[in-house]
Amino acid sequence: MGGPFDLAGRVALVTGANTGIGQAIAVALAGVGARVALAGRTPATETAAAIDALGSEARIVDADLSTIEPVGRVVEETVAAFGRLDILVNNAGIIRRADFDRFSEEDWDAVIDTNLKSLFFLSQAAARPMVAQGGGKIINIASLLSFQGGIRVPSYAAAKSGVAGVTRAMANELAPRGIQVNAVAPGYIETNNTAALQADETRNRQILERIPAGRWGRAEDIGGAVVFLASSASDYVTGQILAVDGGWLAR
């Protein structure tokens, strides 16, 4: 392939790659030559098959990222399988909804642990082999709620705001070691997680009226942004939160 977006010879680790945005990211990276480890508690068999069909190589790594227990093993298995680790995409995440005065400690902790704590410590584990080999890329999946508050999702808003902050903090420390750290903040994307919103005629209309692009995003839109941030085209880009939202935040 050649060119600044070519990832031939690179190895990526993508969490939560079994469906939706994570799947699209993994396939997009494989499409430009990367070999991809797919980490999550649900085996990403469909994603692995799609990557195989592209002529690239995938490896499924079992990991429940609701705790930090597996983070070291996930990195070790990736390096053992492919010999190196160049790109980490922290996509795995959960969301819990409840009214403010009924939001439980359990729901708070579950979201913060998965979406923020595991993201940081997996990044820490991945940075070690990246530093040893001379550099790498860490890409976090943030959210529009890294910029906004949302409704009935306080722990998700807190976690995704934290993702934006820790992205910048990691970028400051890791840039001198050759690692760029950035985040992508998806807007309203057509996935299984947003099926109810898409089916709600009133809410769907309200969402589309706010988006200058006039359409919902597709998971592939996020994949393209991640390919840019994973490639040498972004070697002088770090500490940034790239909103891929059809213009939602600009409205």
By C-alpha distance, which of 228, 236, 198 is closest to 215? 198
Active site residue 188: no
Catalytic member of 16, 47, 113, 156: 156
Catalytic site positions: 156
